[in-house]
Amino acid sequence: MERIEHRACFGGWQDVYRHQSSVLGCTMSFAIYLPPQAAHGPVPVLYWLSGLTCTEQNFITKAGAQRYATQHGIAIVCPDTSPRGEDVADAEGYDLGKGAGFYLNATREPWARHYRMHDYVVDELPALVEAHFPVTTARSISGHSMGGHGALVCALRNPGRYRSVSAFSPIVAPSQVPWGEKAFTAYLGEERGAWRQWDACELLREAGEKLPLLVDQGGDDEFLEGQLRPQLLQAAAAEAGHPLTLRIQPGYDHSYYFISSFIGDHVAHHAAALLGHHGGCEADGCCGGH
Sheet holding 2-9, edge to edge: 2-9, 12-21, 26-34, 75-79, 43-49, 135-143, 165-168, 213-218, 244-249
Could you say which of 253, 275, 280, 282 contacts its own copies (CB under 8 A)? 253
For this structure, is 290 an active site residue?
no
Could you say which of 18, 19, 25, 62 contacts its own copies (CB under 8 A)? 62
The rounded distance, in Å, linking the Cα atoms of 197 and 201 is 10
Q: Tell me which stretch binds its own copies (CB under 8 A): 170-178, 182-190, 196-204, 253-261.
A: 253-261
For this structure, is 221 an active site residue?
yes
Could you say which of 1, 2, 3, 7 contacts its own copies (CB under 8 A)? 7
Entry field: residues in the chain: 290
Q: Where in 219-238 is the site for its own copies (CB under 8 A)? A: 220
Give the nearest distance from C-beta 251 to its own copies in angstroms. 4
The verdict on 67 binding its own copies (CB under 8 A) reads yes
The rounded distance, in Å, linking the Cα atoms of 238 and 251 is 26
The verdict on 252 binding its own copies (CB under 8 A) reads yes
Q: Tell me which stretch binds its own copies (CB under 8 A): 43-51, 109-117, 252-260, 276-284.
A: 252-260
Q: Please work out the total of residues on this chain that contact its own copies, with binding judged by CB under 8 A.
A: 24
Of the candidates 196, 150, 197, 195, the residue with the CA atom closest to the CA atom of residue 169: 150
| Residue 79 backbone zone (phi > 0: left; psi -120 to 50: alpha; other: beta) | beta
The verdict on 57 binding its own copies (CB under 8 A) reads no
The verdict on 285 binding its own copies (CB under 8 A) reads no
Instruction: Give the Cβ contact number of residue 14 at 10 Å.
Output: 20
- Annotated catalytic residue within 72, 114, 149, 254: 254
For this structure, is 242 an active site residue?
no
3-state secondary structure of 234: helix
The rounded distance, in Å, linking the Cα atoms of 184 and 178 is 10
Residues that bind its own copies (CB under 8 A): 7-11, 14, 61-62, 64, 66-67, 218, 220, 249-253, 255-258, 260-261
Give the residue numbers marked as catalytic. Answer: 145, 221, 254
